[in-house]
Amino acid sequence: MQEVGSNPHRTTLKDVAQVVGLSVNTVSRALNERPGVGEATRQRIKAEAERIGYVPNIHARSLVLGSRQTIAMIVTNLFNPFFAELVSEAESRAIEAGYTLLLLLSEESEDREVAAVAAALRSGVDGILAVPVSNDSHAYDGLTRAGLPLVLVSRNIAHLNADLYANDNVSGMRMTTHAVLDRGATDVVLIEEDLQISTVRDRIAGFRLALQDRGVPFDSRNIVLIPTRRSASVALPWLPWQAEDAHRVATDLFERGRRPHAFVLGNDHFALGLYAALRAQGLRVPIDVMVIGWGDQPFARYLDPPLSTVALPARQVAAHAMKRLLHKVSGSQEPPETLCIEPELIVRGSLPRELVLATGGQTP
């Protein structure tokens, strides 16, 4: 085992006690604002502690208290700005509550997810906030038995019945699909990454519901799932939602003679590739083809034409999730709760301004 390069002698409670001429115990109580110490004594102790540079040893404290004041957040990747925002908000809330955030990245890999949970367990965190890799991930199964509070964020796990805080993907995609249908599109293609996650599943459900709402027949070929290619690069983590994938998929579609009226996408990045494919075909947005993205990334409004998209309540989701988790960490034992927050459709130039009567089916 390596020698740890720590200080020769960090000043300890005992040192403070010696300096002020009181017992370790009294000093501890004074410093922790607990009753049983005279105010004058307390002040003197604090001053002395400060003076000789006393810093409490968190390890000893954690040992006796059984808590490290740390939350682990397991996220699939940081590339998706939605996740970055989730983490940013979670970190901020954790700090606010006197906790710190241990970040564990699963990089969309089930193996790394299992490793992440193990690391969280090993490192003695007080609770786990997780965006699972898949809808049937078993990485978290042992947690409740181990007594570690868990809250899921953004993606659900079917068999787990855990707390879940997420975007409302069903209603979001339903709203999105309505938006194109109500502008006259009847041949609408949905492009999604082929991941076994609840968000994709829910968006597909929302898509189908919307068609049903407007009486437009569903054609399963209108849902294009981009095959994952995890093996593509071994060294670098694999990333979903690549613009080039959408570019390829759209180009394929056009080459097979298909020309949908509208595309609704599972991610704004898809719009980048799609726009390129449309330009190559000489198709104009929104006149020939309508496009709606997902996630309202910063570049969306600057595309030409500006991309209509769905703004996600990332900070709200994370804030609620962290609040819930901290509540559970402090011993609350309520039954699992699911909260899906409605996203917001942002209409920009990639959609025609005026609504038209549906052409393909009866009006609702």
Binding residues (CB under 7 A) for DNA: these are 1, 10, 12-14, 21-26, 28-29, 31-32, 34-39, 41, 54, 56-57, 60-61, 63-65
d(CA 163, CA 152): 6
- Between strands 344-346 and 309-311, the pairing is antiparallel
Rounded to the nearest angstrom, the gap between the alpha carbon of residue 220 and the centroid of all alpha carbons in its chain is: 29
363 binds, among a second copy, DNA, none (CB under 5 to 8 A by kind): none
Angle between helices 268-281 and 243-255 (to 10 degrees): 40
Q: Please choose which of a second copy, DNA, none residue 12 contacts, taking the beta carbon within 5 to 8 angstroms, the exact cut-off set by kind.
A: DNA
Supply the minimum distance, in Å, between the C-beta of residue 252 and DNA.
Answer: 56
* Nearest to a second copy of 121, 283 (CB atom): 121
CB of 321 to a second copy, least distance (A): 16
- Shortest distance in whole angstroms from residue 86 CB to DNA: 32
State in angstroms the smallest separation of the CB of 40 from DNA.
8
Answer for the pair 226, 192: CB distance below 8 angstroms, yes or no.
yes
Q: Which does 91 bind (CB under 5 to 8 A by kind): a second copy, DNA, none?
A: a second copy
Comparison of 158 and 232: residue with beta carbon closer to a second copy: 232
Question: Could you tell which of a second copy, DNA, none binds residue 105, using a CB distance below 5 to 8 A set by kind?
Answer: a second copy
Beta carbon of residue 16, minimum distance to DNA (angstroms, whole number): 8
Write out the DSSP string of 150-192.
EEEESS--TTT--EEEEE-HHHHHHHHHHHHHTTT--SEEEEE
Minimum CB separation from DNA for residue 4, in Å? 10
Q: How far is the CB of 322 from DNA (least distance, A)?
A: 24
Is the CB of 14 or the CB of 284 nearer to DNA? Answer: 14
Residue 225: name its binding partner from a second copy, DNA, none (Cβ under 5 to 8 Å by kind).
none
In terms of CB distance, is 332 or 359 closer to a second copy?
332
Q: Answer with the entry of DNA, a second copy, none that 13 interacts with (C-beta below 5 to 8 A by kind).
A: DNA
Number of other CB atoms surrounding residue 160 within 10 Å: 20
Q: What is the 3-state secondary structure (H, E, C) of 308-363?
A: EEEECCHHHHHHHHHHHHHHHHCCCCCCCCEEEECCEEECCCCCCCCCCCCCCCCC
Tokens 């397991």 sit on residue: 74
Q: How far apart are CA 72 and CA 68, in angstroms?
A: 11
22 φ, ψ (degrees, to nearest 5)? -130, 180
Cβ-based nearer residue to a second copy, 38 or 142 = 142
Amino acid type, 93: R
Nearer to DNA, 22 or 86 (CB): 22
Pick the closer one to DNA by CB: 69 or 88.
69
The closest of 308, 288, 304, 340 to 179, measured between CA atoms, is: 308
Residue 161 site contact among DNA, a second copy, none (CB < 5 to 8 Å, cut-off depends on kind): none
User: How many angstroms separate the CA atoms of 213 and 231, rounded?
Assistant: 40
